[in-house]
A and B are shown apart, each in its own frame.
Chain A
């Protein structure tokens, strides 16, 4: 689900950076308030573990395929949402820089799609709600918690992955990158991620149940339910934080959507500027003389301008643009070859000195 830079327009990427940055700022402030430096090594080691753990293949029974575990849910269940979110950011940054998985500019969007939903939505709305709920009250406490962990992890993984996949579609469509209609893109992405979410949820729940059975104190919330202590106050603040962040994102994205015409339109206008520039210039001169006809002419021009390039009398200029573009491209290729040659030359010259 890692998005590459090419799938995002700069404005969308910037909005996502602001949104993720806000969430990160809040998380840092929360952790600083605790003044718990002990958490830092634990966060780092757990993040590294999740990074490595995501590469383990788990055989899905009955099929030939394999699945992976879900990092966001696991981290927030072990470290809490704020520390989990920061750890996820670091994992995504390392994946982006050292494994070319994702992109530097798309990092904000990737953090949002994978870490924000996994850690905040997954933790506050799903993990904590389910673990604290009074489900399976008639069962033995341990068995009840085990069932709740399983349900919370599976529901969490499915829901957060669905949200993430939907965001990928939304961000790509807003960027005007794909010609794929929004509806079909959604129909393509969501079912795939439903299956992935289910498998990831099962694996994550297996790991969390194992942790619960050997060291229940490592899991967030589980102990507080055992003791019957519920920190109700923080629910309100988190809802406020979530709402604030949602407003930032929603506001940013809607601003974008209104100020930028949609991708196709934008491309059409961009095209018109380049392709028809010369035609337009010529026409304007003619109409300048007979200004009374200018309005009608403008109307005609507006109508005809939706026709493809080659339908115009000035089609030679469009063809000329293409040919000169190709000649220019060849020149670029020539320059590329030259650069490779020169670089090699310099390095060969320098090597005896540096080694």
Chain B
């Protein structure tokens, strides 16, 4: 499938995911935003050799995936774009950092190997957290939340409008690419003779479209900002989660729970 068609499908998929019903979807968007940001900050703050401490943070996305009923596969499919850079940066660590950290069954594990795995795990966890936020929150409620957080109106309106038009434009480009491909079989992309006109044509049409759009918006009384219907009010559980989860993350960061319980079990066993 073409890149552009896949993008169209992915946009639709995200909209469908956000329209699902689950306890995570019903949570207040601001709460979700606070939790996600505090989670990402916590994950990123782990030391580069602190793999055992980081492992327990993997429970949070797992828990949310499980609770919201969203398939983890979709998230991993999306990661193919950005993960290579993280992996490429991490892959050099074993070569440069050969300090032995510990030996396990006779094999000496170097610091580079641990830091590489930690880096990749961090990358995956952070992406999962932001994916979960986007997949369980519709764009409208996300924008309303941003507005409540006093993000400038211009920015929020632009985000909302652009999001609306991204699917339209992706569709148009997809149609044009298909038409082009049908007339240029066996060619891998746009030929140099059409580099300017291909996107240029669409650009000119879009500029006209933008003017029409503005005219129609003005006819409906647009004054530079959108009105949001008062969304769901934050209830007690929303406040509770927004305070509780960041504290839990902080505690988990401070105390390595995995190692502590492991040590407890070991001492109990001996």
Q: Which residues of A contact B (CB under 8 A)?
A: 2-10, 13, 24-25, 28, 31-32, 37-38, 40-49, 51-53, 55-59, 61, 64, 66, 69, 78, 86-87, 89-91, 93-94, 96-105, 172, 176-181, 202-203, 206-211, 214-215, 218, 263, 266-267, 270-271, 274, 308-310, 318-332, 335-336, 339-340, 342-344, 346-347, 350, 354
State which residues 80-117 of B face A: CB under 8 Å. Answer: 81-83, 85-86, 89-90, 92-93, 95-97, 99-104, 112, 115
B102 touches A322 (CB 8 A): yes
**Alpha-carbon distance between A310 and B101 when the two chains are bound, in angstroms:** 8
Q: State the Cβ distance, A197 to closest chain B Cβ, in Å.
A: 16
Are A49 and B203 touching (Cβ within 8 A)? yes
Contacting residues of chain B (188-212) with chain A, CB-CB under 8 angstroms: 188-192, 195-204, 206-207, 209-211
In the complex, what residue of chain B is closest to A354 when comparing beta carbons? Answer: B21
State the CA gap A101–B3 with chains docked (Å).
14
| Size category, B interface | 35 or more
5 A-B contacts, Cβ less than 8 Å apart? A10-B45, A44-B161, A47-B162, A52-B4, A267-B47
Which residues of the other chain, A, contact B197 by a CB distance below 8 angstroms? 210
Q: What is the CA–CA distance of A105 and B37 in the complex, to the nearest angstrom?
A: 7
Given contacts A5-B127, A38-B214, A55-B3, contact A328 B48 (CB under 8 A): no
A4 touches B82 (CB 8 A): yes
B188 pairs with A64, CB closer than 8 A: yes
Residue among B37, B62, B90, B195 with max Cβ neighbours from chain A (10 Å)? B195
Known: A58-B189, A320-B266. A37 touches B59 (CB 8 A): no
Q: How far is it, in angstroms, between the C-alpha of A331 and the C-alpha of B206 when the chains are bound?
A: 56
Q: Are B189 and A66 in contact (CB under 8 A)?
A: yes
Contact B166 A86 (CB under 8 A): no
Question: Which of the listed residues B115, B126, B199 has the most CB atoms from chain A within 10 Å of its own CB?
Answer: B199
Contact among B115, B126, B256 for A4, CB-based, below 8 A: B126
Nearest residue (CB) in A for B146 is A93
- Among residues of A, the one whose C-beta sits closest to the C-beta of B134 is A97
State A69–B257 Cα separation when bound (angstroms): 48
Q: Is B251 an interface residue (CB 8 A)?
A: no
B223 within 8 A of A: yes
- Alpha-carbon distance between A293 and B5 when the two chains are bound, in angstroms: 74
CB distance from A153 to the nearest CB of B (A): 11
In the complex, which residue of chain A has the Cβ closest to the Cβ of B152? A28
Contact of A40 among B36, B101, B154 (CB under 8 A): B154
A4 touches B86 (CB 8 A): yes
Return chain A residues, CB-CB under 8 Å to B159.
Answer: 90, 93-94
* B166 adjacent to A103 (CB under 8 Å): no
CA separation between A104 and B131, bound complex, in Å? 9
List A contacts of B142 (CB < 8 A).
97
Name the A residues within 8 Å of B164 (CB-CB).
Answer: 44, 48
| Cα–Cα distance between A42 and B162 once the two chains are bound (Å) | 10
B239 in contact (CB, < 8 A):
no
CB distance from A25 to the nearest CB of B (A): 8
Interface presence of B27 (CB below 8 A): no
Contact B207 A218 (CB under 8 A): yes
- In the complex, what's the smallest C-beta–C-beta distance from B173 to chain A, in angstroms? 4
Q: Name B101's contact: one of A10, A309, A328 (CB within 8 Å).
A: A309
Asked if B258 is at the interface of the complex by the 8 Å CB criterion, the answer is yes
In Å, the complex CA distance between A180 and B256 comes to 28
Q: A4-B86, A98-B134 are in contact. Are A41 and B196 (CB under 8 A)?
A: no
**Bound Cα distance A257, B90 (Å):** 22
B10 touches A319 (CB 8 A): no
For the complex, what is the distance from the CA of A93 to the CA of B166, rounded to whole Å? 12
Which of B3, B50, B82, B192 has the most chain A CB within a 10 Å cutoff? B82
- Output the least CB separation between A198 and chain B (Å): 14
Q: How far is the CA of A56 from the CA of B192 in the complex (A)?
A: 13
- Chain A min CB distance to B80 (Å): 9
Would you give the shortest CB distance from A144 to chain B, in whole angstroms?
A: 18
Instruction: Fill in one digit per residue for B139-180: 1 if any A CB lies within 8 Å of its CB, else 0.
Output: 000100000000010110111011111101110110001000
Q: Are the C-beta atoms of A43 and B158 separated by less than 8 Å?
A: yes
**A164 CB, min distance to chain B CBs, angstroms:** 13
B147 CB to nearest A CB, Å: 14
B245 at the interface (CB under 8 A from A): no
Asked whether B250 is an interface residue with its Cβ less than 8 Å from the other chain, the reply is no
Q: Is B30 an interface residue (CB 8 A)?
A: no
**A67 CA to B56 CA in the complex, in Å?**
41
Which A-chain residue is minimally distant from B96 (CB atoms)? A179
A346 to B265, CA, bound (A): 30
Task: Give chain B residues whose Cβ lies under 8 Å from the Cβ of A218.
Answer: 204, 207
State how many angstroms separate the Cβ of B194 from the closest Cβ of chain A: 9
Establish whether residues A211 and B82, one from each chain, have CB atoms under 8 Å apart when the complex forms.
no
Within 8 Å CB of A44, what residues of B? 158, 161-162, 164-165, 210
How many angstroms from the CA of A86 to the CA of B159 in the assembled complex? 9
Cβ-closest chain A residue relative to B130: A104
Question: Which 3 A-B pairs have CB atoms at the shortest separation, nearest pair first?
Answer: A343-B66, A328-B258, A328-B262
- Say whether A325 contacts B96, CB under 8 Å: no
Given known A105-B40, A178-B93, contact A327–B190 (CB-CB < 8 A): no
Query: Known contacts A179-B97, A327-B266; is A59 also within 8 Å of B188 by CB?
Result: yes
**How many whole Å from A278's CB to the nearest CB in chain B?**
11
Q: Does B254 contact A (CB under 8 A)?
A: no
Which chain B residues numbered 41 to 68 have a C-beta less than 8 Å away from chain A? 41, 43-45, 47-52, 55-56, 58-59, 62-63, 65-67
